[in-house]
Every structure is written in structure tokens, then in C-alpha cells.
Amino acid sequence: MSWVFVRPDAVRVWRDPEVNRRLSWYKAVMLDEAQAKFLIAKSVPSGVGRPGDLSERELWDLHKSLREDFEKRWEEAKRGRRFKPVENSFLDVKIELAKRLLGPPCRLCERRCPVDRRQRWGACLVDAKAYVHSAFLHLGEEAPLVPSGTIFYGGCPFKCVFCQNWDISQVRPRDAPAFDPPSLARLQARLRAEGARNVNHVGGDPIPSAHVIIESFKYLDVNVPQLWNSNMYMTEELLELLLDLIDIWLPDLKYWSDQCAWRLSAVRNYRSVVTRNILRAAQKGDMIIRHLVMPNHLECDTFPILEWIAENLKDRVLVNIMEQYRPEHLVLKHPERWPDIARPVSWEEVKKAREYATKLGIVWEPVS
């Protein structure tokens, strides 16, 4: 018998009616009262024996039509109906499309690097394999999620100068073991058996490893909610593949200003890409939005982000206003280059952010 420590607030949080309403699908899967979406996707017959023979256009058309069947089944699954997997399914179409996104150019994230990921790596520093640096029951995530079966993948499309996980996100994964889809499925099953409420795909960022994660579902028959913990800089194409597989989203909404995103994370078009993806994902799954309050960035980023959430998603998502910013990585080495973020965030700044969220009617407290 194994024992899992359960944080008291991880139990208490479910007494909140808004948490229950906003995370109702995730909760049903977590308690095994409904099948995870990836299991439903495996039950939708594709009608195609070898999706690899189809052109990419034909695959997307097929994907579109199969989603209609998936959506009907998902509605029935919400009422407790269970489905059996079939040989050639909607998931197989997704697996084939995810492989095509490897390029050239790679179309997993909006950097769209001009590389064939099967031959070499792109800006994320990951080739066609999924490198897992660690995997364990994480007790430090938001209360509704813990213990969370967290898998840390190497690589990231972002180059954040303050990254706290720079040792796995900003270096070529040399020592981390490469996981193929069956071994990744076994890892997920093991985490669930150890008491995980969910499988939490994170990193770095899971986007560069998405094709392996998607294929791992072919070998996973354990019912467990799938959680996507990400900067959400994926392409629309990848998001379309993930929408029918991910039960709960944990997007990190960092910036409102594209200038801040470029200066601190070296990404272009941050706001339009990430808000587009968050809006779309929130239509198709439960969501907790994370926002890390950074020193001196209330006016340019925090306040407008909270206003955007209040305007677009206030009644549908939970929000975690995070207070743990501290200078790390390049900011620690060269504080003079980024003087605005070269100190920890102050309690006064976090308080202002939380007060503003409350004023806007955003539900943030139950998950902090």
C-alpha cells in the first residue's frame, strides 16, 4: 500500500460551488465518474485504415468531420456513458497530423522554425524525441490539482531571461532520457496508480513534445484527466489536435505588452497568439489561468491582463495570481540589463494585483 499526502486545502477547495461548477468536467474524470477525452477520441471510428496514405488536406477534412461524432460522444460521456476504443480512430488521425506538423517548417509553435524536427532541433532545442527530466506527484500546484502527476519535458519555445527552470528549458537535453509513446504511456499510468489526480504535462513547455504526448494516448488505457500546463504559444493547428484530448488547461498568461514579451522572452506576437489560444481552449475544457506578477509590470501587463480576463472569461475560468517571482537565470547574472525585474516582486505589488482582480469580479482565491 502506498500513502499519498493530501494537502488540507486540496480537499477543502471542493466545498466551493464555483470551483465545482468551473471545473466540473475535470472533477468528473478525476473521480472516474466520466471518461477522459482521449479515451472518447479513441472510440470514434475514423473509417480509414492507414491515415498515413492521406494528404494533409484530406486529414484535416477528416478531422473536422470526426469531431462532430466526438462532440456527441463527449456530451453523452458527461452523462456517464462509457465508450470502448476501436482499431482505427479519431486519435490515429490526430497522431498522423501531429507527425506532419514536425515540418519542415515545424508547426508545433508559432515560431514556425524552418526545420524538419526529425532531422534537427529548432529554437526550442528539442529534436523529434520527448525528453523527460523528472516525473513525480507534485504537491505544490493549485489546490484542485494536487497531488498532480507532473511530467517535466525538456525544451521550450520561449527564452525567458528570468526562467526558474532554465536548466531544463534552455539547454539541449543531453542527460534526460528520451521517452517513446509506449514508455510515456506507462509513466502516466504509474503516476495515476500512485495517486495522481491528473497527468500534468509541463516543462520547459510540453509544446515541442506534443507529437509524442498525443501518440502516447494510443497506449494509455487508464482513465486520468489530461492537464496541459503551458505558455500556450502553440499554432492553431496543434491546438486543434489537443482540444479533444485535454481535459483541463493551465495556461500561463505572462504579458499584455508585446514589447515586454520580446524583451523578456524573445517571442513575437505574444498577445494575439496566446489570447487566441486561451479563448479557444476555454471553449473546450476547464481552465485555471496563471499570472505571475512581476516587479514594475503592473501597468503594462498585470492590470490589462486582468481586465481582459474579466471581459472575456470571468465566469468560466479560475485564476491564480502568483506571487513567487524572483530574479533567476540571466537576470541573476546580469541584473543591470533588466533592472525592472532584478528584484523579487513586492508584497504591495501582489496585493494591488489581487485587489484589482477582486474589483473586477475575478475568482482567484480558491486556488491560491
- Which C-beta is closer to ligand SF4: that of 39 or that of 245? 245
Taking the least distance from each CB to ligand SF4, the nearer of 25 and 121 is 121
Contacts 24+ apart (CB under 8 A), 302-310: 302/256, 302/353, 302/356, 303/353, 303/356, 304/256, 305/253, 305/255, 305/256, 306/353, 306/356, 306/357, 306/360, 306/362, 307/360, 308/256, 308/275, 309/253, 309/360, 309/362, 310/360, 310/361, 310/362
**Cβ-proximal residue to ligand SF4, closest one:** 122
We find the least distance from the C-beta atom of residue 355 to ligand SF4, in angstroms, to be 37
- Least distance from ligand SF4 to the Cβ atom of residue 113, Å: 3
Complete DSSP assignment for 140-208: SS-GGG-SEEEEEES--S---TT-TTHHHHSS--SSSPEE-HHHHHHHHHHHHHTT-SSEEEESS-SGG
Nearer to ligand SF4, 108 or 161 (CB): 108
Q: Which is nearer to ligand SF4, 122 or 327 (CB)?
A: 122
Q: Minimum Å distance from CB 321 to ligand SF4?
A: 28
* Closest CB to ligand SF4 among residues 143, 156: 156
Query: CB 3: neighbour CB atoms within 10 A?
Result: 6
Cβ-based nearer residue to ligand SF4, 154 or 225? 154
Helix, strand, coil shares of the chain, percent, nearest 5, are 45, 15, 40
Q: How far is the CB of 115 from ligand SF4 (least distance, A)?
A: 6
Rule CB under 6 A: which residues touch ligand SF4?
106, 108-109, 111-113, 115, 117, 122-124, 157, 207-208
Shortest separation between residue 214's beta carbon and ligand SF4, angstroms: 14
Least CB distance to ligand SF4 at residue 327 (A) = 25
